[in-house]
Amino acid sequence: MIQGDSDYEKPLPFNESEQNKLLYTAYAKALKETNDSVKLSCLSKISKESNLFSDHTLFKKANRLAVELAEKSRNSSVLANLYWDLGNFYTSNMPMNDSAFYYYYKAEKIQSETGLHYNSARMLLNMAIIQCNAKDYTGSEINTFKAIAKLKPLHKYQQLFKCYNNLGIIYNEMGDYKKSLEVHFEAEKNLSKINNSDILLASCLNNIGVVLSNQNKYAKAISFFAKGLATDQLLKRDPQVYATLLDNITYCRLKTGNIKSSLPLFKKALGIRQKYHYYSGIVTNKLHMAEYHAICKDTSRSIEEASEANKIAQKIHSNRDILNSLLLLSKIDKRKNNHHAEKYIALNDSFFKQERITRNKFERIRFETDEYIKESQEQKKQKILILVIGIFTTLVGGLLYLVKYQNTKNKTLLLEREQQKSNEEIYALMIEQHNKIDEGKRQERLRISEELHDGVLSSLFGVRMNIGFLNIVDEEKNIQNHNRFQKELKNIEEEIRNLSHKLNNELLSSDIDFINIVHLLLENQSTISGFKYDIKSSPNLFWKLICNNMKINIYRIIQEAIQNINKHAAATQITIQFNLINNYIDLTITDNGKGFNTKYVPRGIGLKNIASRTKLLNGHFNLESEIGKGTKLYIKIPLKINNDAK
């Protein structure tokens, strides 16, 4: 069955890009920062960015220091987000990891106390999915119902769908097929309240079909699988769901006696899963193909497919698939059926003990964390009493309070200036690499200029002067040739002198263009995501005159937009346009991706970051998108000239 990983998105593959170098540079600067609030802000951003780029070493370092600072400063909102990042980190490595459960649990407690009910519900669902994978069905059910209770008043239908989907999986695993179907149909109802939910609906129809298949109601299951496969362009939009539906419908048809067309369809589903490395689906596919070959009396091929499924299941640590493959081998491999059966029994006992230990860990995490929170609440009461006394004392020293307030305000302004300086330093680091590349070109052009001027030109001048001193006493024709040669030498001297000056002038006027840095960003991203791009800048826009703080923020906006396009748009063409109109920089970022309905899709963290940076530059932005017609992002920022350029 398909189970969405609630809110976690897999990070981008790590590569030695300029972004990673900047992250390490920023980390080194953050370590030297003396102001804890600025240091915490920097480290938390580095933590999230390094996790996206799968730099696990940097993530662990930055996150650990950020957690220490957040706990020290009692910054609960930042601390909850850091715990959330840790939960995502461990989830990506092992779905049943108790560390992931621990950090989701800690994040949920903070979010629940601070009234962030939506985020709290998301953490509860994440914990429930981990518990379901560990077969802690009771604990998973409880946390799922808690999440539903928080999501219903908020009308968060997509998250509600995921909750009911998780309940359906729980009841299916427990063998309560009637209840499983009820909650899956409830999940489908929530999808009807969401725009552009046809892919999720296809997944939901697949899960309903699986439950019916487990009840041996193959004909009815086939109708749901067929309805899911009828989703418009499903193979292109979500190959994983398509391959799952195709494999499941073929298996049900095989069970109803339709053997003839089964193998080509099984192979088609397997090819898709192998192409996209859907290992869990590959195991299921091979087990179905093993059953097909067994029905066709091709025992050796059947054993081969089941054995391959067992190897892959062990590689991905899928206990359920390991047991299913051994159970099938015990039925089809008559020579070793006792060996497979004994191994199945031994591993089943081992996995049961392991799952029980994991469930006990979940309970211990809840107990120990709740005890810690209880102690913290007692301390909080004492602090409240101290705070009341402190407030009373503060009233007496009102004048001192005003002085302190003014000092704090001054410090805030200082921090803003330091932040701007940091942005300028980051931009300087970005162009440093370009400077090194151009330095060789500059030196070579200077050498050629000097060689022409000091070497070749001097030699020609000497030759011309020597010819001029020659005593021509011959006939008039020789005298004319002598004068003509002198004139040609003089013309050559003038041409070389002009060329030398031109080389020097071009050398002095060369400048590192901000557009080159943007080009490098898109070039790196295009190799990962496979899109084409075009960058246009109006000729009246001189980037070398614009302050570095503005340029680094514009660069970050573009970077965030490209990241959003990579995650959601599946675009093949991206166009970035810069214009200067009435002392405003107009930035337009256009893609030909899937697009979305701007009225119903909430703005995620990416768009919020873009809005925050635009506001920081006293600008504003607008978003236009339609389903199937791509997306346009318009940003208008008042021009700010570098003080030195003035």
* Average pLDDT over every residue of 594-616: 81
**What's the pLDDT score for residue 254?**
93
Token pair listed for 598? 């701007």
Locate 89 and state its tokens.
């980190």
Q: What is the mean pLDDT of the chain?
A: 81
pLDDT at position 346:
84
- Provide the terminal-to-terminal Cα distance of the chain, rounded to the nearest Å: 64
Range scoring the smallest mean pLDDT among 119-133, 298-312, 342-356, 491-505: 491-505
Of the pLDDT bands very low, low, confident and very high (cuts 50, 70, 90), residue 11 is very low
How would residue 427 be classed by pLDDT, with cut points 50, 70 and 90? low
Q: What pLDDT score was predicted for residue 387?
A: 78
Mean pLDDT of 97-109: 86
- Of 221-230, 275-284, 477-486, give the lowest mean pLDDT range: 477-486
Share of the chain above pLDDT 70, in %: 77
| Span of 6-10, 59-63, 173-177, 415-419 with lowest mean pLDDT | 6-10
Per-residue pLDDT of 378-394, as tens digits, reads 666 677 777 777 777 77
- Per-residue CA distances from 471 to 44, 478, 480, 615 (Å): 85, 11, 13, 81
Rounded CA-CA distance 453/459 in Å is 10
Position 456 scores a pLDDT of 59
Q: What is the pLDDT of residues 464-477, one digit of tens each?
A: 666 666 555 556 76
pLDDT at 164 over 70: yes
Q: pLDDT confidence of 558, banded at 50, 70, 90?
A: very high
Q: Which of 65-74, 347-356, 449-458, 517-526 has the lowest mean pLDDT?
A: 449-458
User: Which pLDDT does position 430 carry in this prediction?
Assistant: 60
For the chain, what percentages of helix, strand and coil (3-state, to nearest 5) are there? 75, 5, 20
Predicted model pTM: 0.54
pLDDT for 183 beyond 90 = yes
Q: Does the pLDDT at position 249 exceed 90?
A: yes
Q: Tell me which long-range contacts 417-420 makes (C-beta under 8 A, separation of at least 24).
A: 418/35, 418/38, 419/38, 420/549
Provide the pLDDT for residue 601: 61
220 or 45, which is more confident?
220
User: How would you label 439-468 residue by residue, b for 16+ Cβ within 10 Å and e otherwise?
Assistant: eeeeeeeeeebeebbeeebeebeeebeeee
User: Is residue 485 pLDDT above 50, yes or no?
Assistant: yes
pLDDT score recorded for residue 6: 41
- Highest mean predicted confidence (pLDDT) among 25-29, 233-237, 386-390, 506-510: 233-237
Beta carbons of 307 and 270 less than 8 angstroms apart:
no
Q: Select the more confidently predicted residue: 296 or 319.
A: 296
